[in-house]
Structure 1
Amino acid sequence: MIPPEREQHCSGQVSTVALRYLDHEDDVLASYTLMRQLRPQLDSAQAFVQRWQHQRTQGYRLLALWKGTQPLGLAGFRVQDNLVHGRFVYVDDLVIDASCRSQGFGRMLMDALKAEAKALGCSKLLLDAAMGNALGHRFYYRQGLLATALHFSMMLP
């Protein structure tokens, strides 16, 4: 379901970009700096790889938008099923390199996620966004997502 390579602009240059899954540790290591833009609490590339390996056992997949050997965007997701939503894709992580934002790369990743969700027999795509992430909220609305609930959480002692 992953679309073929496309020409796109990044930092003012035309380049060919491709979507592909990160299935090897080397690719995950290559994407650490990008993921850290979204998840600054990841204190090392090795910690990221260990989390990725563990989450893979729970169905987590990382889809990356590449320009050559450089990842421009990442989408981490998993298929879930519950009584509220039925079968759905939950997007854990979505990030575009800060130098390449507002150039269509986020839309490309979202389109790929929507297509993948349909191919996997899912009826919904869900994600959480921080309350203070107004730019992210605007992007998600433009992609057709609606705010349908508040997500509550707490740290346990």
Structure 2
Amino acid sequence: MELIELKTKKEITQAFAVVNELRTQLDLNKYLELVTEAMETDNYHMYGMVEEDEIVAVAGFKPMITLYYGRFVWVNDLVVTSEKRNNGYGEMMLHFVEQWAAQNKYDHVALSSGLDKPEAHRFYEQKMDYDKASYVFLKTNV
């Protein structure tokens, strides 16, 4: 098992099948467009857990600074392929993000999780010891 930063178009494309399990609204072209733009303009980082030459988990995150959290890392995407869930990959990926944050002098790691994902909420709160800090509100079509 190996953790690699996904930087090339080929590597990012290989991660699409895993990411698409979480981001089902994206087709490959829109995914590539958004990842590329986020990397170029928003300091977005994407890492993949590789097992037997196959990406089985992906974490995408970006460092940020706000008045609310101060210096922190926002986890945009964290997904383990359905066949590999409950094997510790999500925990390893999130621990990696936490280590990355600490090594780069960020004080917190934050993320949001959809209201329809109670199993993910249990994972973050009970297994990973994250606090439920806020609600995220969204307004579309503005």
Q: Which residue does the alignment assign to 1:91?
A: 75
The answer to whether the 8 Å contact 1:21/1:61 transfers is yes
CA distance in 2, matches of 1:151, 1:42: 21
From the CA coordinates, give the structure whose radius of gyration is larger.
1
Aligned position for 2:105: 121
1:156 positional shift: 3.2
Match of 2:141 in 1: 156
Specify every segment of 5 or more residues in structure 1 that has no aligned partner in the other structure, as ranges.
1-16
- Describe the SS at the equivalent of 1:51: helix
- Measured after TM superposition, the shift of residue 24 of structure 1 is 0.7
What CA deviation, in whole Å up to 9, does each residue of 1:40-83 have, x standing for no partner? Answer: 1112x232211111000210010110013210000000000011
Q: Equivalences for 1:5-154 in 2 at 5 Å? A: 17-43=1-27, 45-57=28-40, 58-141=42-125, 142-154=127-139
Q: Count matched residues.
A: 140
In the superposition, the TM-score normalised over structure 1's length comes to: 0.86
Counterpart for residue 11 of structure 1: none
- Is residue 37–residue 97 contact of structure 1 (8 Å, CA) maintained in 2? yes
Q: 1:93-114, CA deviations, whole angstroms, 9 ceiling, x for partnerless residues?
A: 0000000001111111011011
Cα deviation, residue 18, structure 1: 0.7
When the two chains are superposed, the root-mean-square deviation of aligned CA atoms in Å is 0.9
The separation in 1 between residues aligned to 2:36 and 2:129, in whole angstroms, is 31
CA drift of 1:134 comes to: 0.2
**SS of the residue aligned with 2:43?**
coil
Alignment partners' CA distance in 2, 1:38 and 1:114: 21
Work out whether residues 29 and 46 of structure 1, in 8 Å CA contact, stay in contact via their aligned partners in 2. Answer: no
* SS of alignment partner, residue 130 of structure 2: coil
Q: What are the Cα deviations for residues 127-156 of structure 1, in whole angstroms up to 9, with x where unaligned?
A: 000112100000101101110111111113
